[in-house]
């Protein structure tokens, strides 16, 4: 897993889940290339982003759906 310091420098179209409500605790995804996906905090678009493989991104989303992330 890698990261980039300023997510706004990535030439990607960012999106967040349609399940995201008006709360500000969302993450956004952007497809970097055929192999990589970026993930950033929607509240901080110029902050860091994680760069994940597609397999890692699927695992991340699966874990979130299963409630394995607890605040």
Position with higher pLDDT, 30 vs 1: 30
- pTM to 2 decimal places: 0.82
d(CA 11, CA 64): 26
φ, ψ of residue 29 to 5 degrees: the values are -115, 150
The answer to whether the CB of 1 falls within 8 A of the CB of 50 is yes
Q: Is the pLDDT of residue 29 over 80?
A: yes
Q: Is the pLDDT of residue 23 over 70?
A: no
> What's residue 38's pLDDT?
96
Q: What is the pLDDT of residues 32-71, one digit of tens each?
A: 999 999 999 988 999 999 999 999 999 998 998 898 987 6
Domain ranges of the chain: 2-16+24-65
> What's residue 57's pLDDT?
93
């Amino acid at each position: 897993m890698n990261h980039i310091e300023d997510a706004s420098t990535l030439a990607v179209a960012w999106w967040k889940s349609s399940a995201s409500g008006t709360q500000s605790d969302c993450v956004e995804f952007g497809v970097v290339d055929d192999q990589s996906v970026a993930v950033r905090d929607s509240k901080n678009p110029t902050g860091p982003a994680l760069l994940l493989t597609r397999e890692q991104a699927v695992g991340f989303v699966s874990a979130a759906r299963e409630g394995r992330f607890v605040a």
